[in-house]
Amino acid sequence: MPRNQSEASNQLELYKLITEKQRIKQELVFIDQRKVILTKRLSTLQGQIDATDNNIKHFRNSESPVARPKIFFETNNYKAFDIEY
């Protein structure tokens, strides 16, 4: 059964709406900050991946073919996945 409309009930509804609006704005600011942090981390990781890949290629080229172990995978084919349990 719906409540009777009164000034007090409308003020309460207004308070709830304003509170939710403030919470959502704060959450959006947090998400923006988190996005900046994650983008920087991705950039750092890409640099580390490239450097490591270059090191691998350097070692492949500098070692003699006899001493080189068999390579079972290529470095540009790495893919990650999540497993939820």
Percent of the chain with pLDDT over 90: 61
Q: Say if 6 falls within a structural domain.
A: no
- Asked, for residue 49, whether it belongs to a domain, the answer is yes
| Domains in the chain, number | 1
Residue 12: inside a domain: no
Average pLDDT of the segment spanning 3-14: 90
Q: Dihedral (C-alpha) 70, 74, 75, 76: value to the nearest 10 degrees?
A: 170
CA torsion through residues 69, 75, 77, 79, sign: positive
- pLDDT for position 62: 82
Residue 26 lies in a domain: no
Residue 1 lies in a domain: no
Average pLDDT over residues 41-57: 95
| Mean pLDDT rounded to a whole number for the chain | 85
Residue 76's pLDDT is 65
Indicate if the pLDDT at residue 73 is higher than 70: no
Residue 66 has pLDDT above 60, yes or no: no
Is 2 within a domain?
no
**Does residue 19 fall inside a structural domain?**
no
- What is the residue range of 55's domain? 33-74
